[in-house]
């Protein structure tokens, strides 16, 4: 490497510390001094990993959806839109699409109501607040497959504690076969999704609330704004960006979740609770029809695109704000 | 004056009431795991039809039989070992990639680095349910079906984006002046990273390690897709899939496994959640 010309860094050093500068100038310039090169080298491993193992497979998923591909052989035959034609005529797929939308929308509405309320509760000073916060976070921290098993047991058709309690309270005449009835099974699945997602949303909203300047809230109180006005005209608008982030995360995590439905119902009873991920798993992995599985999973892509665009927008808006 | 005091008391009651409701909702399944793990079978399988038998409490003295069965009669400990080994390998790969990348995005790359940072973070959102099908092809091509290597290769696809973003936040929170001072003192950029930045970022790196590890522990979809032998499963796959024999559920042991696995994870996760939020938001704020 040629000996040091007046690089950016050396100039900066001389200005900053004129007395020391000459000694520094004669130190050999190494790779480590060329910041933009060093930056790229340091970024490369992560970037390559992400491109090779996220971006490329994502593209492969799209390609597979246009092909007749089966696990067990590595054959790849282009068949155009035939997979899509098959699934679009399939009532099972329609049901899965409807279920995914329904699960996601209902559970996200419930999650956001619970999360904003819980965040307000946790924001108030009260005894044992730290303990409550700790306990509220447990559902999010626990492995979803294990939590789903606990819920499966809670909703067990013979031993369900919920049934027992409702019976004793005199609220239930007959019997709830939680996973034997499509509507009840959906209620169970939504319950578990809400249970799992609301702690995470609460934490995000809480972080957003602490970021809202205290003096704005106080000013609203002093100006005599009522509780509801404060909530709807001061708090919520300021919280909007962060709530948007929480909702986008929630939508992505819920609509693409495979574990909860798979472990609770396996898509049953009579395939009535399938969502896109479980159907894709059933057809693509268990049924070995990778092409068809991929074309089902592809329908999750628009959700992701909307989420990504939404996130970028929020990021840009907060950038302008600061 | 009195009305105001009444109002305050009502408000207190509301806050405590709501806090209690949320807590009960959140921890109910954990209570159920605990109860089921230590109940005798006779106490457990009465069924909800007998309204005189209260399922909410121990009607008979607690027992350790389910826990004993779990440890000595099931491959639970093998699954724990598999999970720890896979987790360690994934953490290692993640650190090698994410630490330099996080620093680079925080300091060495200007505006395009910021965009790239957001781009890398967004890949965290690409769900396993979209990727397990193409991965099925990739893993078959590499001949890695039903080996831990499949998971070791795939898990960094979500830990690297996440940890890179997290570490970017931590590196940004280190004051620039300290680094500049170091360079004035004659260190190269690389020297500054080694001698000044890394020691200061230890807590951030530790947070990244914890999160990468908990993400591995929680993963279910890829394990379900690629691991089929019971002896090669991870905890989060083995417990729900292999502890169920035919149609018989060993609920006592199953819940014991869920409890023993999830409580430590949840506690550790909780201990680090504040740092994690700090890192996450620091990544979003411009440095």
pLDDT of B201-250, one tens digit each? 888 899 899 889 989 998 999 999 999 999 999 999 999 888 876 555 67
- Rounded Cα distance, B212 and B116, in Å: 21
Q: Looking at residue A298, what DSSP letter applies?
A: G
Amino acid A179: pLDDT:
85
Residue B258 belongs to what H/E stretch?
helix B251-284
pLDDT at A305 over 70: yes
Highest mean pLDDT of the ranges A217-226, A282-291, B47-56: A282-291
CA distance B117 to chain A (A): 10
Amino acid B286: pLDDT:
43
Residue that wins the pLDDT comparison between B188 and B225:
B225
Query: Which of B33, B107, B164 lies nearest to residue A150, judging by beta carbons?
Result: B33
| Alpha helices, DSSP H, located in chain A | 8-16, 21-25, 35-50, 56-65, 82-88, 91-123, 129-141, 144-154, 161-168, 182-211, 214-222, 227-229, 236-255, 259-264, 276-281, 290-297, 301-321
- The pTM assigned to this predicted structure is 0.86
- Interface predicted TM-score of the whole assembly (ipTM), two decimals: 0.88
Amino acid A15: pLDDT:
45
- Rounded Cα distance, B242 and A250, in Å: 30
Residue A78 belongs to what H/E stretch?
strand A77-78
Q: Does B271 touch chain A (CB under 8 A)?
A: no
Q: Does B144 touch chain A (CB under 8 A)?
A: no
Query: Which of B12, B129, B190 lies nearest to residue A297, judging by beta carbons?
Result: B129
- Rounded Cα distance, B231 and B217, in Å: 17
B27 to A114: CB separation less than 8 angstroms, yes or no: no
Amino acid A28: pLDDT:
54
pLDDT at A275 over 90: yes
Q: Does B70 touch chain A (CB under 8 A)?
A: no
B265 to A143: CB separation less than 8 angstroms, yes or no: yes
Angle (nearest 5°) at CA B286 between A311 and A45? 75
Buried-state track B83-104, b at ≥16 Cβ within 10 A, e below 16 = beebbebbbebbbebbbbbbbb
Residues 6+ apart with CB under 8 A from A86: A292, A295
Residues B139-163 pLDDT 10s: 999 999 999 999 999 999 999 999 9
pLDDT at A321 over 80: no
- Rounded Cα distance, B198 and B99, in Å: 9
B26 to A259: CB separation less than 8 angstroms, yes or no: no
Query: Which of B120, B125, B154 lies nearest to residue A307, judging by beta carbons?
Result: B125
User: Which residues of chain B are within 8 Å of residue A47 when distances are taken between CB atoms?
Assistant: 101, 116, 120
- Rounded Cα distance, A295 and A283, in Å: 10
- Which range has the worst mean pLDDT, A1-15, A263-277, B3-17, B46-60? A1-15
Interface test with B, best of A11, A37, A54 (most B CBs within 10 A): A54
- Window 157-186 of B, Cβ < 8 Å to A: 157, 160-161, 164, 180, 183-184, 186
Q: Long-range contacts made by residues B12-19, C-beta under 8 angstroms, separation at least 24?
A: B12/A126, B15/A121, B15/A124, B15/A126, B16/A126, B18/A117, B18/A118, B18/A121, B19/A121, B19/A122, B19/A126, B19/A128, B19/A129, B19/A132
């Amino acid at each position: 490497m040629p000996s040091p010309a007046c690089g950016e860094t050396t100039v900066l050093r001389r200005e900053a510390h004129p007395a020391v500068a000459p000694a520094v100038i004669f130190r050999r310039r190494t790779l480590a001094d060329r910041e933009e090169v060093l930056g790229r080298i340091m970024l490369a491993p992560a970037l390559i990993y992400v491109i090779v193992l996220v971006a490329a497979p994502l593209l492969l998923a799209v390609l597979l959806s246009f092909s007749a591909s089966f696990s067990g052989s590595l054959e790849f035959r282009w068949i155009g839109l035939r997979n899509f034609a098959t699934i679009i005529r399939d009532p099972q797929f329609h049901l899965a699409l409807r279920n995914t939308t329904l699960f996601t929308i209902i559970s996200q509405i419930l999650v956001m109501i619970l999360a904003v309320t819980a965040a307000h509760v946790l924001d108030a000073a009260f005894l044992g607040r730290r303990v409550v916060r700790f306990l509220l976070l447990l559902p999010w921290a626990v492995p979803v497959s294990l939590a789903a098993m606990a819920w499966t047991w809670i909703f067990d058709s013979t031993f369900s504690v919920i049934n027992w309690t409702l019976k004793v309270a005199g609220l239930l005449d007959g019997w709830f076969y939680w996973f034997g009835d499509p509507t009840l099974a959906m209620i169970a699945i939504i319950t578990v999704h809400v249970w799992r997602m609301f702690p995470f949303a609460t934490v995000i909203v809480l972080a957003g609330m602490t970021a809202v300047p205290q003096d704005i809230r106080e000013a609203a109180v002093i100006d005599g704004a009522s509780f509801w006005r404060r909530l709807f005209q001061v708090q919520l608008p300021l919280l909007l960006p962060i709530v948007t982030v929480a909702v986008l995360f929630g939508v992505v995590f819920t609509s693409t979740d495979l574990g909860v439905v798979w472990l609770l119902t396996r898509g049953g009873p009579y395939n009535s609770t399938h969502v896109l991920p479980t159907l894709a798993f059933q057809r693509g992995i268990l049924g070995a029809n990778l092409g068809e599985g991929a074309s089902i999973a592809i329908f999750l892509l628009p959700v992701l695109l909307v989420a990504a665009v939404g996130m970028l927008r929020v990021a840009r808006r907060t950038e302008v704000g600061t | 004056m009195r009305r105001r005091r009444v109002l305050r008391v009502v408000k207190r009651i509301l806050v405590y009431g709501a806090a209690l409701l949320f807590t009960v909702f959140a921890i109910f399944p954990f209570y159920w795991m605990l109860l089921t793990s230590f109940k005798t079978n006779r106490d457990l399988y009465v069924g909800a039809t007998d309204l005189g038998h209260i399922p909410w409490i121990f009607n008979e003295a607690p027992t350790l039989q389910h826990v004993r069965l779990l440890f000595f009669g099931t491959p639970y400990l093998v699954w724990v070992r598999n999970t720890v080994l896979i987790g360690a390998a994934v953490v290692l790969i993640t650190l090698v990639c994410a630490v330099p990348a996080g620093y680079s995005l925080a300091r060495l790359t200007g505006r395009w680095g910021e965009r790239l940072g957001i781009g890398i973070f967004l890949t965290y959102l690409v769900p396993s349910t979209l990727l397990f099908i193409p991965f099925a092809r990739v893993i078959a091509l590499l001949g890695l079906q039903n080996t831990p290597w499949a998971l070791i290769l795939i898990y960094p696809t979500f830990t690297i984006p996440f940890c890179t973003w997290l570490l970017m936040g931590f590196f940004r929170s280190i004051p620039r002046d300290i680094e500049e001072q170091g360079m004035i003192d004659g260190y190269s950029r690389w020297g500054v990273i080694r001698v000044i930045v890394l020691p200061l970022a230890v807590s951030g790196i530790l947070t990244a390690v914890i999160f990468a590890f908990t993400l591995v522990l929680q993963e279910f979809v890829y394990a379900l897709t690629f691991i089929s032998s019971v002896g090669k499963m991870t905890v989060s796959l083995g417990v729900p899939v292999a502890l169920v024999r035919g149609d018989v559920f060993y609920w006592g042991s199953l819940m014991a496994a869920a409890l023993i696995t999830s409580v430590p994870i949840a506690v550790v996760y909780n201990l680090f959640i504040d740092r994690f939020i700090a890192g996450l938001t620091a990544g979003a704020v411009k440095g």
